[in-house]
Amino acid sequence: MKNMIELDGAVGEGGGQILRTALTLSMITGQPFRIVNIRAGRSKPGLMRQHLVAVQAAAEICNAKVGAVAVGAQTLEFTPGPIKGGDYAFAIGSAGSCTLVLQTIFPALLHAPTASVVRVTGGTHNSMAPPAQFLQRAYGRLLERMGAMVDIELRRYGFYPAGGGELIAHVEPCAQLKQIDLRERGERVDGYAECFVAGIPGSVAKRELECVGLAMGWDEAQLRVRGLPNEYGPGNALLLTLEYEHVTEVFCAFGEKAVRAEQVAKRAVDEARRYIASGAAVGEHLADQFMLPMALAGGGSFTTDCVSDHSKTNAAVIARFLPVRIDFDDCGSFKTCTVRTV
Burial class (CB in 10 A: 0-12, 13-18, 19+), 230: exposed
Burial class (CB in 10 A: 0-12, 13-18, 19+), 244: middle
289 annotated as a binding-site residue: yes
pLDDT tens string 47-96: 988 999 999 999 999 999 998 889 988 999 999 999 999 999 999 987 88
Burial class (CB in 10 A: 0-12, 13-18, 19+), 269: buried
Tell me 255's DSSP state. Answer: -
Position 94 scores a pLDDT of: 78
Q: What are phi and psi of 284, to 5 degrees?
A: -55, -50
Q: Is 338 helix (H, G, I), strand (E, B) or coil?
A: strand
Say which CATH topology domain 5-178 has. Answer: UDP-n-acetylglucosamine1-carboxyvinyl-transferase; Chain (3.65.10)
Q: Are 237 and 254 in contact (CB under 8 A)?
A: yes
d(CA 223, CA 213): 7
Q: Are 150 and 143 in contact (CB under 8 A)?
A: yes
Q: Are 242 and 275 in contact (CB under 8 A)?
A: yes
Q: Are 37 and 31 in contact (CB under 8 A)?
A: no
d(CA 306, CA 151): 28
Provide CATH code, domain 188-278: 3.30.360.20
Bond from prior residue into 173 cis (ω within 30 degrees of 0): no
DSSP one-letter string for 180-230: -EE----SEEEEEEEEEEESS-HHHHHHHHHHHHHHHT--GGGEEEEE--G
Q: Which residues of the chain have pLDDT under 70?
A: 1
Asked if 5-178 and 188-278 have one fold, the answer is no
277 annotated as a binding-site residue: no
> Under 8 Å CB-to-CB from 167, ≥6 apart: which residues?
98, 99, 102, 119, 120, 124, 132, 135, 152, 153, 154, 155
pLDDT tens string 235-254: 999 999 999 999 999 999 99
Q: Which residues is 79 bridged to in the sheet?
A: 65
103 annotated as a binding-site residue: yes
Position 1 scores a pLDDT of: 64
User: Side by side, which strands form the sheet with 65-66?
Assistant: 5-8, 33-36, 76-79, 65-66
Q: Is 33 helix (H, G, I), strand (E, B) or coil?
A: strand
| Furthest C-alpha separation in the chain | 61
19 annotated as a binding-site residue: no
Q: Are 319 and 223 in contact (CB under 8 A)?
A: no
8 annotated as a binding-site residue: no
Q: Are 112 and 85 in contact (CB under 8 A)?
A: yes
Position 161 scores a pLDDT of: 83
Kindly list the catalytic residues. 310
179 annotated as a binding-site residue: no
**Count of residues making up the chain:** 342
Report domain extents, the chain.
Answer: 5-178, 188-278
